[in-house]
Amino acid sequence: MVLDEDMPPRKRLMAARTLGADLVRHAFNDLNLRRVAARALVDFPLLGHMHSIFKGMVKEGVLREAVYQDGRYHDVEVWGLLKRDQWTEGEDHGAG
């Protein structure tokens, strides 16, 4: 699945939710990881939906001016999800 910039915003968000659920399921069930983390530029368009893309993810903080891109520094938000906190096998973690 590809998240195309030309996709309508709602369709892009639904695709991101599906990908997010698949990634988390693979991390916890197949790889047996304890934690999944995500980082995104504060001005990344889907960042406001991070909690719904990755069900149960919690904003853990902001890394100020952590990335230099396009001639300026950007803040980065850090999100995390622990397997023991939110993840239950068989629970719907998709588009919700």
pLDDT score for 87 = 53
Q: Above 70 in pLDDT, residue 4?
A: no
Q: Above 50 in pLDDT, residue 75?
A: yes
Pick the residue with more confidence: 3 or 30?
A: 30
Task: Please give the average per-residue pLDDT across 46-52, as a whole number.
Answer: 65
Alpha carbon separation from 28 to 4, 34, 43, 44, 88 (Å, rounded): 27, 7, 28, 26, 10
Q: Which amino acid is at 53?
A: I
pLDDT score for 18 = 81
pLDDT score for 46 = 65
Instruction: Identify which of 39-43, 47-51, 79-83 has the greatest average pLDDT.
Output: 79-83
Please tell me the distance from the alpha carbon of residue 24 to that of residue 29, in angstroms, as a whole number: 8
| Banded model confidence at residue 15, pLDDT cuts 50, 70, 90 | confident
CB-based burial label for 72 (10 Å; 0-12, 13-18, 19+)? exposed
Q: Above 90 in pLDDT, residue 71?
A: yes
Alpha-carbon torsion, ordered 89, 91, 94, 95, to 10 deg: -170
Domain formed by 9-86, architecture: 3-Layer(aba) Sandwich (3.40)
Residues 6+ apart with CB under 8 A from 55: 20, 21, 24, 86, 93, 96
